[in-house]
């Protein structure tokens, strides 16, 4: 699968933002000479435009973006969320479709090459519009192939990339992308150590900055301040290490702010968050998608269940998500198996053809 080239060595340009192959123009026969366009004398050219065919202007050369100094990660995360919201609204797409800027921030946070921030910044900031859109598609495809359970929960972030006319949004997508890069998203999410990536909740800052106050009231959406989350994590867990294999549950967890604080407190106790289970639910699909993104960015491990529903009315949303998780992983394995069989069959055909050619 082409998208798996994302995990190539960072010094090489990954397929995510590789150039689209150009189709060479068909050569003009040597004997052909252009005839003058004279509509009155040439009946079959009556409706031809005598003006020369316009040539598409090449995209301007782009320079690598230099991120601003971050300072405190939490303050930097808030500045990034507010700047992304401002860039989105200024692009004439603001006021609706907040899934698109949230999706861009999430995809950049999920970029799989870690520890090479300058290289990745250069690749993304100098990409063409087509490469940018294709790169975001491949990031989500690669995420699904690795974590189908969490990838399925990110569905609200992926839909716009498959819509007709997505190229019309390229200007707004680039504005948001450049803003996120300038405000240091890769500095906050590109560290190989997940503990350093869990210093802030970019998804929370982005969602709350984009959503109006009235919409937040309607959803009952009030993301807990990170300082309060830290205090609650210390109070809940204390200094005694919880037993490995224990599960933490959040029935109305937003994008996972409490889990971020708990994971960091476990690391403070020299424990690995991946040794525990994490089950989170939220009624807002975008917040639940953000929690799925954060679970990967923060390194919470394989035992993560993210659900979306009304925990007060449905009651068993986490149990249902656990059942869905097993089915999604099985479906992914079956699809990957089919692809492997198809690729093996194609290789066998090519080998047979080469043997017949030698006979």
Residue 148 has pLDDT above 70, yes or no: yes
Closest CA to 100 of 89, 111, 112: 89
Most confident option among 8-22, 139-153, 210-224, 283-297: 283-297
Q: What is the pLDDT of residue 42?
A: 36
The percent of residues in the chain predicted with pLDDT above 70, rounded, is 74
- pTM, two decimal places: 0.75
Q: What is the pLDDT of residue 94?
A: 58
Q: Tokens 């929690």 correspond to what residue?
A: 291
Tell me the average pLDDT across 48-71: 62
Tell me the average pLDDT across 176-191: 96
Q: What is the pLDDT of residue 196?
A: 95
How would residue 313 be classed by pLDDT, with cut points 50, 70 and 90? confident
Count CB-CB contacts under 10 A for residue 37.
13
Q: What is the pLDDT of residue 163?
A: 92
The percent of residues in the chain predicted with pLDDT above 90, rounded, is 50
Q: Tokens 């919201």 correspond to what residue?
A: 85
19 vs 349, residue with greater confidence: 349
320 vs 218, residue with greater confidence: 320
270 vs 341, residue with greater confidence: 270
Mean pLDDT estimate for the chain = 80
* Residue 16 DSSP one-character state: G
Tell me the average pLDDT across 269-284: 94
Rounded Cα distance between 191 and 299, Å, is 11
Q: What is the DSSP string of 277-329?
A: EEEEEESSHHHHHHHHHHHHHTT--S-EEEEES-HHHHS-HHHHHHHHHHHHH
CA angle 288, 231, 293 (to 5 degrees): 20
The 3-state DSSP class for residue 277 equals strand
Phi/psi for 10 (5° steps) reads -65, -25
Q: What is the pLDDT of residue 350?
A: 73
Tell me the average pLDDT across 83-92: 92
The answer to whether 61 and 183 are in contact (CB under 8 A) is no
Residue 223 has pLDDT above 60, yes or no: yes
């Amino acid at each position: 699968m082409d998208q798996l080239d994302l995990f190539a060595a960072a010094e090489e340009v990954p397929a995510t933002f590789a150039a689209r192959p150009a189709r060479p123009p068909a050569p003009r026969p040597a004997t052909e000479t252009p005839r003058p366009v004279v509509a009155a004398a040439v009946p079959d050219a009556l409706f031809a435009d005598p003006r020369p065919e316009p040539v598409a202007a090449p995209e301007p050369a782009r320079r690598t973006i230099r991120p601003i100094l971050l300072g405190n990660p939490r303050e930097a995360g808030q500045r990034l969320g507010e700047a992304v919201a401002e860039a989105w609204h200024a692009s004439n797409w603001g006021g609706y479709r907040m899934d698109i800027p949230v999706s861009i921030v999430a995809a950049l946070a999920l970029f799989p090459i870690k520890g090479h921030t300058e290289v990745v910044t250069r690749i993304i900031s100098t990409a063409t519009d087509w490469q940018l859109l294709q790169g975001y598609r491949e990031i989500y495809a690669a995420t699904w192939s690795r974590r189908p359970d969490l990838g399925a929960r990110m569905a609200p972030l992926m839909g716009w990339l498959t819509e007709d006319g997505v190229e019309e949004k390229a200007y707004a997508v680039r504005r948001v992308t450049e803003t996120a890069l300038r405000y240091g998203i890769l500095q906050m999410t590109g560290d190989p150590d997940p503990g350093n990536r869990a210093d802030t909740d970019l998804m929370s800052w982005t969602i709350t900055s984009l959503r109006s106050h009235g919409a937040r009231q309607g959803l009952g959406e009030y993301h807990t301040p990170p300082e309060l989350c830290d205090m609650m994590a210390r109070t809940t867990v204390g200094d005694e290490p919880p037993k490995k294999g224990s599960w933490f549950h959040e029935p109305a967890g937003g994008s996972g702010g409490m889990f971020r604080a708990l994971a960091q407190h476990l690391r403070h106790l020299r424990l690995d968050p991946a040794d525990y289970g994490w089950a989170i639910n939220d009624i807002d699909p975008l917040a639940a998608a953000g929690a799925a993104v954060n679970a990967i960015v923060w390194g919470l491990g394989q035992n993560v269940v993210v659900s979306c529903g009304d925990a007060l009315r449905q009651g068993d949303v986490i149990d249902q998500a656990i059942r869905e998780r097993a089915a999604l992983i099985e479906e992914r394995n079956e699809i990957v198996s089919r692809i492997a069989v198809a690729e093996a069959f194609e290789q066998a055909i090519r080998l047979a053809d080469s043997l017949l050619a030698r006979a």
